[in-house]
Amino acid sequence: MARKTGDVSIAVDPGYDRLGVAVFDGTTLVHSECYTPPKGDVPERLSAVFTRVTDLIKEFKPTSLAIEGLFFNKNQRTAIHVAEARGAITVAAMQRGVSVHEYSPQAVKIAVTGSGNAAKDGVIRMVDRLVTLPKRKRLDDEYDAIALGIAHTSHNAQLRPLHDK
């Protein structure tokens, strides 16, 4: 089991194909990953996402979960599946008594870089400066979750919880 020294939070960049996850103990990153559910149809993937988030909640015992708000792109099918993944993630948190907080992509960029229009590579460079990361390859989803966790732990007064216990 993970050592808990402060207020533990989980940040999740939602997806049904890849799920970025970052766990913070206070402002210290203690775990991050890009989880890829087993190949299968969408319900099977959503079930795997729900199970992985539930397992992380059991292991790290967070008090809060940060999730990125939906960003609508041109592919409506993908947006719908990401929305379904957000639902599975939110239910996993709520069933374990974890408060859920939503942040827009722009709010995360502002918290990490100071600009809501920052490019992806600018966010990644700032994450690398703000958090000590073990040297290994990371996908964008994992970096997005870490950036979301930074925004969440900064306690920006403008960002309100979706639900508090």
In DSSP terms, 99 is beta-bridged to 64
Q: How far is CA 71 from the centre of its chain?
A: 14
| Residue 68 is a catalytic residue | yes
For the record, the structure tokens of 12 come out as: 């999740």
Instruction: Write down the catalytic residue from 25, 102, 141, 142.
Output: 141
13 is catalytic: yes
Catalytic, 41? Answer no
Are 75 and 16 within 8 A, CB to CB? no
Gyration radius from the chain CA atoms = 15
Among residues 25, 68, 102, 142, which one is catalytic? Answer: 68
Using CB atoms within 10 Å of the CB of residue 31, give its burial: 0 to 12 exposed, 13 to 18 middle, 19+ buried: middle
Q: Provide the 3-class DSSP secondary structure of residue 10.
A: strand
Q: Please tell me which residue in 13, 25, 102, 142 is annotated as part of the active site.
A: 13
Choose among 120, 121, 123: nearest CA to 112: 123
Token readout for 30 is: 């203690």
Query: What residues are labeled active site?
Result: 13, 68, 141
